[in-house]
């Protein structure tokens, strides 16, 4: 008997459009795999309360066997939709409520990574006014990466070369949340490693053609080169995969995640963050890595849906 899945996409975050592309790809893939598929689009303009009401109504009506969460950013990756699925006793893809909250909060996740012994760039939380912010940064060397603590897709991220650029960078980051993080810029090769189940996928190297890997570089065709698998020695690749898996476990993730790292000049993996719901278009990075293992996009989507079906529904 065919299983029924609801793919939730869209949402009120700034990542609405990316989420719709991820969700539509999943809908088409699962339909090809003979699932009974329904899409649930959460409007962009909805606030959290309205989004929750829309999601609750849609999931209650659908009578799904499983929910495939293709929401990115706030509402999707911060534990909100996961909590709703648990209240409705619906199995769902991806990490549970706690791991989702930790992954979305860069401050909380960095603390978990450090407790697990993982290498991360030196960092500080920026508080208060510009003067107070500069005081908070004592001990950090420029250049610095300034970013909102709870956002994705590189929204609000700046690289600051000197102190006189901090005010503008902080203001930019605060457009996406009141808590702002500064971390030392690590020169090196930008890598990402996906986790499927409890298995690291091949490492990918990310090479933006201009600047750094910001929103435009991520989502503009031809703006970034992706080397799959990354052209690095086997032992270094293994150390990157080990760091990604350790980060996945430190947050308590399940089913999938994708860790972003910098391989510094000493070939040491420096962990930046973990995405608990990485992009899921057919050309996104986690599907690219899975393809290296002869796992097609359709097979990847179906495997994740089946992982969720095998989870015991929370009573």
Architecture in CATH for domain 4-94+297-310: 3-Layer(aba) Sandwich (3.40)
The residue ranges of every structural domain in the chain are 4-94+297-310, 103-119+186-276, 123-184
258 is catalytic: yes
267 is catalytic: no
279 is catalytic: yes
Architecture in CATH for domain 103-119+186-276: 2-Layer Sandwich (3.30)
What would the CATH number be for the domain defined by 123-184?
Answer: 3.30.1490.20
pLDDT in tens, 46-92: 788 899 999 999 999 998 999 999 999 889 999 999 999 999 999 99
Would you call 299 helix, strand, or coil by DSSP?
Answer: helix
Would you call 222 helix, strand, or coil by DSSP?
Answer: coil
Identify the burial level of 304 via C-beta atoms within 10 angstroms of its C-beta, where 0-12 means exposed, 13-18 middle and 19 or more buried.
buried
User: Which residue among 184, 260, 298, 302 is the active-site one?
Assistant: 260
pLDDT string in tens for the chain (315-residue length) = 579 999 999 998 888 999 999 999 999 999 999 999 999 999 987 788 899 999 999 999 998 999 999 999 889 999 999 999 999 999 999 999 999 999 999 999 999 999 999 999 999 998 765 555 666 687 889 999 999 988 765 778 999 999 889 889 999 998 888 889 999 999 999 999 999 999 999 999 999 776 655 445 555 566 688 999 999 999 999 999 999 999 999 999 999 999 999 999 999 999 999 999 999 987 799 999 999 999 999 999 999 999 999 874 433
User: Which residue among 152, 279, 284, 298 is the active-site one?
Assistant: 279
Pairing of strands 36-42, 144-148: unpaired
pTM of the model: 0.90
């Amino acid at each position: 008997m065919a299983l029924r899945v609801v793919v939730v996409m869209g949402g009120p975050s700034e990542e609405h459009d990316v989420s719709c592309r991820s969700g539509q790809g999943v809908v088409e893939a699962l339909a090809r795999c003979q699932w009974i598929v329904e899409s649930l689009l959460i409007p962009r303009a909805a606030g959290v309360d309205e989004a929750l009401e829309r999601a609750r109504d849609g999931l209650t009506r659908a009578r799904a066997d499983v929910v495939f969460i293709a929401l990115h950013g706030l509402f999707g990756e911060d534990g909100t939709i996961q909590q709703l699925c648990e209240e409705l006793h619906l199995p769902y893809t991806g990490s549970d409520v706690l791991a989702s909250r930790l992954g979305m909060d860069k401050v909380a996740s960095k603390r978990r990574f450090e407790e697990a012994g993982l290498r991360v760039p030196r960092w500080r939380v920026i508080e208060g006014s510009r003067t107070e912010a500069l005081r908070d940064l004592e001990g950090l060397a420029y250049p610095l990466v300034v970013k909102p603590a709870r956002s994705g897709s590189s929204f609000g991220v700046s690289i600051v070369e000197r102190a006189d650029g901090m005010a503008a960078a902080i203001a930019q980051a605060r457009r996406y949340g009141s808590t702002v993080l500064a971390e030392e810029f690590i020169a090196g090769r930008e890598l990402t490693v996906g986790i499927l189940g409890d298995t690291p996928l091949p490492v990918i190297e990310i090479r933006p053609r201009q600047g750094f890997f910001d929103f435009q570089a991520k989502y503009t065709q031809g703006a970034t080169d992706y080397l799959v698998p990354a052209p690095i020695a086997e032992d270094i690749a293994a150390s990157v995969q080990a760091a990604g898996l350790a980060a996945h476990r430190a947050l308590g993730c399940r089913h999938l995640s994708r860790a972003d790292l910098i391989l510094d000049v000493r070939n040491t993996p420096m962990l930046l963050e973990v995405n608990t719901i990485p992009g899921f278009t057919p050309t996104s990075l986690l599907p690219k890595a899975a393809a290296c293992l002869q796992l097609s996009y359709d097979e990847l989507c179906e495997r994740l849906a089946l992982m969720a079906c095998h989870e015991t529904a929370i009573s």
